[in-house]
Amino acid sequence: MARNASFGYKITWKIRDINVYNFPFMGPLKSPEFFIRCDDVTSWRLCLDYDKNNKYLYCVVQRTDEVKSLNELTVAFQLHVRSETQKKEVCSGQFLATLSNRDSQPISLNKVVTVESREGSNSRGIEMCFEFKITIDRNSLSVSNPHLSQFSKDIFDLYYSKKYTDLTLKAKDEFRAEVHRFILEVRWPELLQGKRNAEVIGVDTSKDILETILKYIYCETVEVKCEQLPDLVNLFKNHSLPDMEVKIRNYPYESILMTPMNYVNMSIGYNLEPLKYRDYEPHLKVMPVSNLQVQDLMIMFHVCKQSDGDIDLKAVLRFSDFDYRKPVHVKCDISLQFGEEWKSDRQETRGFTTNDEWILDIHCPMDKCNKLKLEMVLCDGMDDENIEQERCRYIIMHSVPILKDPLKFCDGIFRKLEDSNNRFDVKLIVENDFLLCHRHILAGRSEKFKRMLDGVPVVNNEVAMLTVHDISPEILKMLVNYIYYCDIPSQKLKNPYTATKLMEAAKVFNLHLLEKECADSSQTPS
C-alpha cells in the first residue's frame, strides 16, 4: 500500500483510423477496463461518444467496480489527446466518483477534432491517443470497515483450517473437499437439495473448478484462469450460482492498453576466478528497480563444477513485490570474458506475468573464461517488438480477482440464519438463558471460544452444551451478534456500564477490535 497521500496512474488509450465525418453516426466507444489498487482494487474506463443534439465529441471517465468499502473516491484527472504532429491538453479537473454517481462530467473534444481535421485527413482517418492521468486522493477514501475486514479474514482462515467440517464434496478426479454444511446451505443450497443428510456429495467437475467455487463461497473472491471460463460459466449455470455466472460472463480476461514505456538498464558482473580454487555457496544479489511496477530484481547464483573442471552456473532471476496486472519484460545479454576480450554468449528474453523464477543456464570453460556479465533491459509490458521503442503494449491474458466485498458476504451468509434452521451444534448456556450457535463460527472468530470448544467432544449430530461463566445474558448476546454480524451496539455503548462490561468480555474472548470500539466509546463524552 502506498504511503503517500494519493495514488497516481497514467493510462493511454489509442484509437486508430477514425474519420471525423463519421462521429455523428457512431455509437459510444469504450476503452478496456483498467485497474487501480487503492486499499482495494477499483476498475475504470474511458468512454468516447458524440452528442448528436449539441454536436460535439466528448469523453467521460467512468468508474465500473462495486467495491462498497470504497464508496467515495476523489479523482483528479488530466486528459491529453495526441496525434503524430502534436499533443494537446484537453481538460483537467476533478470529480467525486461514488457507487451511485460514477461518471465525470463530459469532457469536450471539439477543439481537438477541429485541429485534427485542419491538418488534413487521409483515407485511413485520424489517430487519437488519450493520455489519461488519474490521481486518487488517499485522504478521501472511505476505508474498509475493519470489523468486516477481520470477519472476512476469519472466514477465509476457516475455509483453509478445515476445522469442524461435517460434509465431504467429491470431484470427478476423486479429489475430496471438507466443508461446512450450513455455509453451503446458505451459499449453495441447490447442491444440497434432496441430500440434506448425506455425508458425501459428488460434484461433476474437476478439482480446480471445485476449489474455485469453494473459495468464492467462503471468501467472496476467486481468481480465474482463461481456459476455465467456459467450464465455469456452464457449471455456475447448472448449479444455480447466478451471481457468479454473471461475473464470469463479463470477466475482463483480455485487456489491451497503450502506456508510456518505462525501462531500466542494469548490468551485473560475476568474477569466475575464485571458482577455480574453491567452491562457492549459492548467493543472492538484490538490485533495486525504479520506474517500474516492481521494487527489486533478485538474482541468485548457483554454481556446479563438472568432472572436466568446467562450471555450470545458474542465474535465477525473480522480482519482489510483483504486480501481475503490470507485466515486466526482460532482455538479457549474456557475455563471457576470455583473457581481455568479451564475447557475447547469447541473448534471451522473458516476459514476467507471474512471480515465477527465470533460470539462465550458463556453461563456463574454466581454463579460458574469467568473468561473466549480464546486461539487462527491463521494461513495462509484454511486447517483444517494442522493447526498445518509445511505447509498449500491455496484453494481459491472465485473470484479475473478482473483487471481495465482505459486507455482501456477511449479509449473504449470516443474515439468513435468523430465518432458517441451519444446523446449530452448540448451545451456549448462560445463567437461565441459552443461545444456539455454530461451533466452527465461534472457533473461527474467537481464540477463547476455540479453546473452550476443543474440550467439548463432537458426538454424532448432537448439540454440544457449553456453559459460559462470569458474563450476563445481555452481554453474551451482544458478543455473539458481533461474532456473526459485526454488529456494534452503538446506542447501548452510550451506557458506561454496558460499554465497560462488553469491553471486558471482548478482551476475554480475544475480540480486540470490539474491545477497542468499546474503549473508544467509553472515552467519548455523551
Report d(CA 189, CA 206) in Å as an integer: 20
Report d(CA 188, CA 178) in Å as an integer: 15
Q: How is residue 44 written as a grid cell?
A: 475504470
Positive or negative torsion for Cα 455, 461, 465, 471? positive
Query: At 55, which amino acid appears?
Result: K
Report d(CA 54, CA 109) in Å as an integer: 13
Across 471-482, b (16+ Cβ under 10 Å) vs e yields bebebbebbbeb
Report d(CA 515, CA 526) in Å as an integer: 19
Q: How is residue 46 written as a grid cell?
A: 474511458
Report d(CA 29, CA 130) in Å as an integer: 13
Report d(CA 126, CA 470) in Å as an integer: 77
| Residue ranges in the chain modelled with pLDDT below 50 | 1-5, 115-125, 142-143, 252-260, 383-401, 403
Instruction: Say what the pLDDT of residue 504 is.
Output: 93
Number of Cβ atoms within 10 Å of the Cβ of 71: 12
Q: How is residue 503 written as a grid cell?
A: 469491553
Across 136-154, b (16+ Cβ under 10 Å) vs e yields bbbeebeebbebbbbbbee
Q: pLDDT digits over 397-422, tens only?
A: 334 445 455 555 555 555 555 555 55
Query: At 415, which amino acid appears?
Result: R
Residues in contact with 19: Cβ distance below 8 Å, sequence separation at least 6, in sequence order: 121, 125, 126
Query: At 206, which amino acid appears?
Result: S
Report d(CA 165, CA 201) in Å as an integer: 14
Instruction: Say what the pLDDT of residue 200 is.
Output: 92
Report d(CA 98, CA 66) in Å as an integer: 10
Report d(CA 512, CA 514) in Å as an integer: 5
Instruction: Say what the pLDDT of residue 410 is.
Output: 58
Report d(CA 519, CA 181) in Å as an integer: 37
Closest CA to 20 of 142, 109, 135, 141: 109
Number of Cβ atoms within 10 Å of the Cβ of 128: 22
Instruction: Say what the pLDDT of residue 479 is.
Output: 92
Q: Cα angle at 116 between 114 and 122, to 5 degrees?
A: 125
Report d(CA 453, CA 446) in Å as an integer: 11
- Tell me which DSSP letter residue 444 carries: H
Q: Cα angle at 332 between 326 and 337, to 5 degrees?
A: 160
* Dihedrals phi, psi of 128, to nearest 5 degrees: -115, 135
Instruction: Say what the pLDDT of residue 291 is.
Output: 66
* Dihedrals phi, psi of 266, to nearest 5 degrees: -135, 150
The per-residue DSSP string of 299-337 comes to EEEEEEE-TTS-EEEEEEEEEES--TTS-EEEEEEEEEE
Q: How is residue 236 written as a grid cell?
A: 455456475
Number of Cβ atoms within 10 Å of the Cβ of 500: 15
* Dihedrals phi, psi of 466, to nearest 5 degrees: -135, 115
Closest CA to 128 of 20, 56, 261: 20
Closest CA to 353 of 284, 389, 400: 400
pTM here is 0.46
Instruction: Say what the pLDDT of residue 411 is.
Output: 57
Query: At 372, which amino acid appears?
Result: L
Q: How is residue 190 written as a grid cell?
A: 441447490
Report d(CA 426, CA 226) in Å as an integer: 43
Q: Cα angle at 217 between 212 and 222, to 5 degrees?
A: 40
Query: At 393, which amino acid appears?
Result: R
Q: Could you give the residue ranges of the DSSP H alpha helices within 12-165?
A: 110-118, 146-161
Whether the CB-CB separation of 369 and 338 falls below 8 Å is answered with yes
Whether the CB-CB separation of 311 and 272 falls below 8 Å is answered with yes
Q: pLDDT digits over 141-178, tens only?
A: 544 567 777 777 787 777 777 777 888 999 988 899 99
Report d(CA 505, CA 153) in Å as an integer: 22
Query: At 52, which amino acid appears?
Result: K
* Chain-centroid distance, C-alpha 393: 22
